[in-house]
Amino acid sequence: MTSTFHRIALIGKYHGAHLGATGIHSPDALLTVAHFLVKQGCDVVIEHDWAHRMGVFDFPCLALDAIAVSCDLAVVVGGDGTMLSIGRQLAAFGVPLIGINQGRLGFITDIPYSGFSDCLTSMLHGEYIEDQRNLMDGRVMRDGQCVFSATAMNDVVVNRGATAGMVELRVEVDGHFVANQRADGLIVATATGSTAYSLSAGGPLLHPSVGGWVLAPIAPHTLSNRPIVLANTSVITLEIVAGRDASASFDTQSLASLMIGDRIDVRQSVHHVRFLHPKGWSYFDTLREKLHWNEKVVLL
């Protein structure tokens, strides 16, 4: 049977890895996937930066911008952090992504490395579930000028300074004043990001099919400041009212030393990320496995 995808890019996790490493984080893991894909009749290329950092030149190498316009599919062999970065960069080009998990949790890189061959065999022949995830565009406005902008798949976070007290933020939704919040920070999370920092801050889980965002305070001064779910068609604005050395983070992209009066605008991106999952995949199966639901609790 002919593969649905002809030219496939492999993208590896190289942060924390080093040449000559052994085990699941070694170059051998990605190369094993590459040789498997070749046997399925696919044309395989490897992302340039990973290949050069790892000293792997067994296959043609392409930069990510070339992958974006020339490949039918990208397979990410790494963790959720790798997938977040690649997803943001490929979203505008509509390249579908498959994640083979080499990280710890694997909410969005959901195929275990130990069983990748069985999963990929059927997926390459068109047996998969497509899952589209929304992105958010954020920008920092200062005196009417944009001083920083970025796209995020997980969240936009405003944090207090490392040594300072709480930060005070004026929150607006679609131009309507909501409240001034004093806290260690505030998170605006997508449904994808609802299982990340927002969850640690007490925010709710949001199913990816729900068109919503989570607005979750981090250690709020007033206990009545609770997480709230908003429509992802809303424009959320966070203005720095008080607090020194606050910072804004857009996934892993950040701007430090926000100033009083800076406004962080968050709105839905026109692009989305295309994830492909094996047939039978369920978001609830992922939650149950990663969050250890239904496990027996032993009382001492």
- CATH code at 135-270: 2.60.200.30
CATH topology of domain 7-126: Rossmann fold (3.40.50)
pLDDT for 48-96, tens place per residue?
999 999 998 889 999 999 999 999 999 999 999 999 999 999 999 999 9
User: Rounded distance, CA 193 to CA 214, Å?
Assistant: 9
pLDDT, average across residues 6-20: 73
Residue spans in the chain of domains classed CATH 2.60.200.30: 135-270
Which positions are annotated as active-site residues? 80
pLDDT for 229-271, tens place per residue?
999 999 999 999 999 889 999 998 888 889 999 999 999 999 9
Compute the Cα dihedral for 205, 274, 81, 245 and give only its sign: negative
Residue spans in the chain of domains classed CATH 3.40.50.10330: 7-126
User: Percentage of the chain surpassing pLDDT 70?
Assistant: 93
pLDDT for 153-185, tens place per residue?
999 999 998 777 899 999 999 999 999 999 999
pLDDT value, residue 256: 84
pLDDT for 193-232, tens place per residue?
999 999 999 999 999 999 999 999 999 998 889 999 999 9
